[in-house]
Amino acid sequence: MLGDTASNRTDTPFVPVALGEWVFVASVLDRAQNVQKISVDGGQNWATIAPPAGPIVSAMDLSLGWDIGQNNFWFNGEIDDVAMFNRALSDSEIKQIMQKGMTPQLAESLYPKDRAADVPPDVVLSWAPGLYASTHDVYFGTSSADVGAAGRANPLSVLVGKGLNASEYDLGRLTLGQTYYWRVDEVNTAPDSTIFKGEVCSFTIEPVGYALAGGSITATASSSTSAAEGPEKTIGGIGLDLDDLHSMDTAAMWLSGEVAAGASAWIQYEFDKTYSLHQMLVWNHNSQTESLIGLGIKEALVEHSLDGSTWTRLGDVHTFTQAPGTAGYASNTTIDFAGAAAKHVRITAVSNWKGVFKQNGLSEVRFLYVPTRARQPYPISDINDVHPELALTCRPGRHAASHNVYLSTDEQAVINGTAPVVKTTEAGFTPGTLALGQTYYWRVDEVNDAEAVKVWQGDVWKFSTGEYLVVDDFESYTD
């Protein structure tokens, strides 16, 4: 219903709308055809009535969804976007707006999406062409200002693709952790070749290292001064705020007991599996008396191990920067593991910062790892009713040169690596038509003979195919 303050109501016919869902509504008042109509599917199906007499008065306030003159007939819902036109649009024009929005001349469905994070470094830019596009210009760089200001006349070194026919662009391998900006201009067909300038979008490539979740780590220590100050307090961000700044609460830190002469305090971390470690971030012991008694570790040995028995020392003695003994403490020590494969890490204290007491403590320790294993499977693990004709895909491990894909209905065979295996250079494969109503297990091992760890065994994922196939438009079949 449309209404104005002159009480010239123009009611539309009723159209059923699903509750709790967003719908696209088009209402047309066409005086030339003497019809008023409404559609909720982009002008494909209309409900119509004859329009009432009298114009919609342009000088008055106009309302949508209630009678502004009678103050009733309220619309119970939400409205996201509204556009009005001074003529009756055709059905095709309405459908275009529903599908492409109010700017159909621009590229849409951009990938990566604006502000996307954790984007693979080998990402290929892609988009759906604008309605009138003949070719495309792609601007790309690390400066939002340059990407936004550049044009054909002044490319500012960010016009990477001019007059492209394809609606995608391969940038090669991008820098880890870097934020990039890009824009797609759509170029109209000749003779005018109008350029429709696109919006500047951004995305950020995956980081060099991902933080290992506290739930994947078990911490033990040589001793603790009390049960409230155990080694488990150094994992999981117990004393950190949302900005990764640590408090002065000693109940959120580890502190060893008194260390006997000739002995050393140590703290050890065991992971749920082997990881390629990138860095270790350290928040030293941060009690409010730290500047006076200096219980934080000053010098330490750092070792790593695959089995917890045979240890490899990481470099020489490391110095851990002292904490300030104030709230809002950011990590100030970084230890580089350079991709070392480890399931265990041990820190052995050589000294503390003051030597007043023979104790050593830490507030928080965080491990960053390199994503060497396959991840993000499709279909997602544990999903049901999967179509039996599908392609198995995943996000590959960072250093993978090839992939060993195991697939079977026998879970243990996949776990043991005795299931049938397909070796491929692609991160996944198409197994052919699978059986209906069956649960399948699969695993992707990442392989690179040039790396120190040649094979990174993947997790076991599973999915179940549907019990039957759904045939679309079955009524049209006559065989």
Largest separation between any pair of C-alpha atoms in the chain: 101
Q: What 3-state class would DSSP assign to 418?
A: coil
- Comparing 56-70, 204-218, 384-398, 407-421, which segment has the lowest mean pLDDT? 56-70
Walk me through the domains of the chain, giving residue ranges and CATH numbers.
Answer: 25-100 (no CATH), 108-205 (2.60.40.10), 211-369 (2.60.120.260), 375-465 (2.60.40.10)
Closest CA to 232 of 369, 367, 364, 368: 364
Write out pLDDT tens, residues 231-250: 999 999 999 999 999 999 99
Beta-carbon contacts of 195 under 8 Å, excluding residues fewer than 6 positions away, are: 137, 151, 152, 185, 186, 187, 188
Strand order in the sheet with 26-30: 26-30, 35-39, 47-49
CA-to-CA distance for 314 and 305, rounded, in angstroms?
Answer: 10
Beta-carbon contacts of 100 under 8 Å, excluding residues fewer than 6 positions away, are: 108, 130, 131
Write out pLDDT tens, residues 366-414: 999 999 999 999 999 999 999 999 999 999 999 999 999 999 999 999 9
What residues does 351 pair with on adjacent strands?
299
Q: Do residues 139 and 158 make contact, with C-beta atoms less than 8 angstroms apart?
A: yes
CA-to-CA distance for 127 and 131, rounded, in angstroms?
Answer: 12
Write out pLDDT tens, residues 160-208: 999 999 999 999 999 999 999 999 999 998 888 899 999 999 999 999 9
Instruction: Tell me what pLDDT residue 22 has.
Output: 86
Instruction: Tell me what pLDDT residue 110 has.
Output: 96
Mean pLDDT, rounded, of the chain? 90
Q: Looking at 133-265, which runs of residues are DSSP E strands?
A: 133-141, 159-164, 168-170, 179-188, 195-196, 201-205, 210-211, 217-221, 254-255
Structure tokens at 414: 């996949």
Instruction: Tell me what pLDDT residue 4 has.
Output: 46
The one-character DSSP state at 282 is E
Instruction: Report residue 3's pLDDT band, with 50, 70 and 90 as the boundaries.
Output: very low
Average pLDDT over residues 350-358: 96
Structure tokens at 40: 């909720």
- In the predicted model, is pLDDT for residue 79 greater than 60? yes
Q: Do residues 461 and 441 make contact, with C-beta atoms less than 8 angstroms apart?
A: yes
What is the percentage of the chain residues whose pLDDT exceeds 90?
Answer: 72
What is the percentage of the chain residues whose pLDDT exceeds 70?
Answer: 90
Instruction: Tell me what pLDDT residue 471 has.
Output: 66
pTM to 2 decimal places? 0.79
Average pLDDT over residues 126-154: 96
Average pLDDT over residues 270-279: 98
Closest CA to 268 of 362, 346, 214, 213: 346
- Comparing 58-72, 237-251, 300-314, 417-431, which segment has the lowest mean pLDDT? 58-72
What residues does 72 pair with on adjacent strands?
67
CA-to-CA distance for 90 and 130, rounded, in angstroms?
Answer: 19
- DSSP labels, 109-150: EEESPTTEEEE-TT-EEEEEPPTTEEEEEEEEES-HHHHHH-
Instruction: Report residue 36's pLDDT band, with 50, 70 and 90 as the boundaries.
Output: confident
Write out pLDDT tens, residues 6-34: 544 555 566 777 788 888 888 887 777 77
Write out pLDDT tens, residues 97-137: 887 677 788 998 999 999 999 999 999 999 999 888 999 99
- DSSP labels, 303-363: EEESSSSSEEE-SSPEEPPPP-SSSSBPP-EEEE-TT-EEEEEEEEEEEESS-SSS--EEE
Q: Do residues 12 and 56 make contact, with C-beta atoms less than 8 angstroms apart?
A: no
Residue type, 335: I
